Chains A and B, each alone.
Chain A
């Protein structure tokens, strides 16, 4: 059987990324099945549904789900699709309910997703109605598997998902638990943007410290993230997750500024409060950017903490929902720092704005270039941990894992 040539990965393997993975509708469809339909996916914070009856709309892949806390206090994740005719019945973004009522024919479901009422089930005056053997118990909402890990909620469509302990194993788990240490969280608010690019480009952006040292002039200039700082790239054994770790430096450059056109030595802040960060994790680490495959970015940058939830909408369209949070026991001064530092992030962020713009332009550049591919060789061709920022090792690890789950083969293996 001959394979379509565009399905064949370049012979170099994970140090190349063929551009067809970013704009082919068929690839997108298969990803929804094999990745978002199988993996653990981030859906939200337990703090968003603090008490029984509280619900919050969310997504797994491009499918709408509801995060809801039931009467027993357990968090359920239910597909937002009526068991009758498929209506996306939950219309409000968040709220409180004792049960879910689908407006179309008013089937009702309890907070665990069980069907508990069908109007006219017995018909009217002995006419109509459901067949005698129609059993409510056979028609629940689709219930996903759920893990609440220290206040971060993950769900999976798989009947038997991979054990969560294996999905989030050390060393990633240690970085994750550094922020999600079990302290009750307080949601500070949301930012939502639709970036006209493929979902993988967003994940890859946060696995790529090389760009952060160059594109993000703001970070570079103020020593928040710079090539000459002590830093690490830590990978999950599978390659799918990564953590970029950096210690803040001063403004003093230790390499030639000529290598970093983005270093603007004459730019100074009028108001230093924007970058006035309070040491709170006591390990000297200023930045940890984590990617948890397939749909979560967790950032700790100074005092700013946020989850960035990736919702793929189509091959070239992705929604990014940022949930900024702190801890319930934050004092006023720390809360204010978190709110102030949020100026750096999101669709108008002094750092993240560059990313939205760069990702859009990247998608535009690779569109329909199905015979071309990205060159990913900074830091070598392997996929090992690194102690330097100018490396693309986490991208290679990601492509390696991605090829595996998607079943893509390299050109030479195919022969």
Chain B
């Protein structure tokens, strides 16, 4: 096995670590930590595959920078009404590539399971993350994240971030 391939494996492991930490924070309900997986100026978008394929710019969620992410996290924690629930992220098929000296692009698949009070567990959404990662202060952070969801019809609401 050549060194190039091994470096590729190390890269995947590093990106997977970030994705799994991200998922763990969300699944634990640690919303206040969510914005800090991103650089201050990162664009976080949740976009339907329908809009994406038709070239339509509308996002379901669009946070232009960490400030908007903090506002959404705070609103979810302190302001909005919704029934209690558990979300569980499954992330797989992680494929990162170096785009330049300091920029990684990674696509991966996600499935989000939802469990409500007195209800069985169901699939809420499935789709693909298209991420940009950069190194900042020795840490890998999302410089941008597009969550493209396949789910044409959302089962009622998407409360927590994908």
Contact = CB atoms under 8 A, between A and B. Distances in A.
Interface string B58-72: 111111111110111
Greatest chain B CB density within 10 A among A192, A194, A271, A342 is at A271
Contact of B50 (A93, A215, A319, A339): A93
A347 B56 contact: no
Interface stretch (B3-11, B77-85, B95-103, B129-137): B77-85
Interface in A163-216: 187-196, 215
Nearest to B54: A94
B126 to A, nearest CB: 15
Contacts of B51: 189-190
Main secondary structure of the interface of A (DSSP, over half): mixed
Interface stretch (B16-24, B105-113, B147-155): B147-155
Interface in B22-44: none
B64 A193 contact: no
A193 B48 CA distance: 11
A217 B79 contact: yes
B46 interface: yes
Given A190-B50, A190-B51, A193-B154, A346 B60 contact: yes
A342 B48 CA distance: 14
Interface residues of B, number: 37
Nearest to B51: A189
A395 to B, nearest CB: 20
Interface stretch (A33-41, A145-153, A252-260, A353-361): A353-361
Contacts of A218: 75, 79-80
Interface in A210-238: 215, 217-218, 221
Given A193-B154, A194-B154, A194-B155, A347 B60 contact: yes
Contacts of A267: 74-75, 78-79
Interface string B137-162: 00000000000000011111111000
A4 interface: no
A386 interface: no
A192 B152 contact: yes
A193 B75 contact: no
Greatest chain A CB density within 10 A among B54, B56, B65, B79 is at B79
B153 A194 contact: yes
A350 B80 contact: yes
A182 B41 CA distance: 38
A144 B153 CA distance: 26
A354 B74 contact: no
B19 to A, nearest CB: 21
A335 B79 CA distance: 27
B82 A357 contact: yes
B82 A189 contact: no
A273 B64 contact: yes
Given A270-B71, A274-B68, A348 B157 contact: yes
Contacts of B82: 353-354, 357
Contacts of B56: 187-190
B125 to A, nearest CB: 10
A188 B154 CA distance: 19
Contacts of B65: 271
Contacts of A94: 54
Contacts of A271: 64-65, 67-68, 70-71
Contacts of A274: 68, 71
Contacts of A358: 81
A357 B76 CA distance: 13
Nearest to A221: B79
A340 interface: yes
A354 B79 CA distance: 10
A343 B73 CA distance: 13
Nearest to B155: A194
A264 interface: yes
A271 B70 CA distance: 9
Contacts of B67: 269-271
Given A94-B54, A217-B81, A267-B78, A191 B48 contact: yes
Contact of A190 (B48, B71, B83, B155): B48
A353 B159 contact: yes
B61 A348 contact: yes
A346 B157 CA distance: 8
Contacts of A354: 80-82
Contacts of A347: 60, 154, 156-158
24 contacts: A93-B152, A94-B54, A189-B51, A191-B154, A192-B153, A193-B154, A194-B155, A217-B81, A218-B80, A269-B67, A269-B71, A271-B70, A273-B64, A319-B153, A324-B58, A335-B57, A339-B59, A342-B60, A347-B154, A348-B61, A353-B158, A356-B156, A357-B81, A360-B83
Given A192-B152, A353-B82, A360-B83, 7 more contacts: A189-B54, A191-B58, A192-B48, A193-B153, A194-B155, A217-B79, A271-B64
Q: Which 5 A-B pairs have the closest CB atoms?
A: A189-B58, A271-B67, A189-B56, A270-B67, A189-B51
